[in-house]
């Protein structure tokens, strides 16, 4: 779950649109727009090995919801990595 940036209530990631603007993704990740755009540049420069996943649609960059969920799941601590 992510936090609703206007009310700080948790929101289900599955309820987000299929693609988000870089600014919308930045707000969900609680980072600045400039940092988010820099991370999209890293994604494109490294052929998707690092950074914020994006697709280019015409002149616009969009962050796929599924890629955002994978990114957040990859950063979440797993049960096997937790301490007893």
* Whether pLDDT at 65 is above 70: yes
Residue 39: C-alpha distances to residues 8, 10, 17, 23, 74 (Å): 24, 24, 21, 12, 16
Contacts of 75 (CB under 8 A, 6+ apart): none
Q: What is the pLDDT of residue 23?
A: 97
- Mean residue pLDDT of the chain comes to 85
* Whether pLDDT at 8 is above 60: yes
Mean pLDDT of 26-44: 97
Q: What is the pLDDT of residue 14?
A: 81
**Nearest residue to 74 (alpha-carbon basis) of 49, 42, 38:** 49
Contacts from 52-55 at CB under 8 Å and sequence distance 24+?
52/22, 52/25, 54/22, 55/19
Domain boundaries, the chain: 2-6+21-74
The whole-model pTM stands at 0.76
């Amino acid at each position: 779950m992510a936090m609703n940036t206007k009310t700080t209530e948790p929101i289900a990631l599955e309820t987000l649109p299929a693609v988000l603007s870089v600014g919308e993704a930045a707000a969900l990740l609680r980072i600045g727009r400039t940092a988010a755009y820099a991370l999209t540049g890293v994604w494109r420069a490294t052929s998707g090995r690092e950074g914020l996943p994006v697709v280019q649609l015409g002149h616009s960059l969009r962050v796929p919801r599924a890629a955002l969920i994978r990114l957040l799941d990859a950063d979440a601590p797993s049960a096997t990595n937790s301490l007893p």
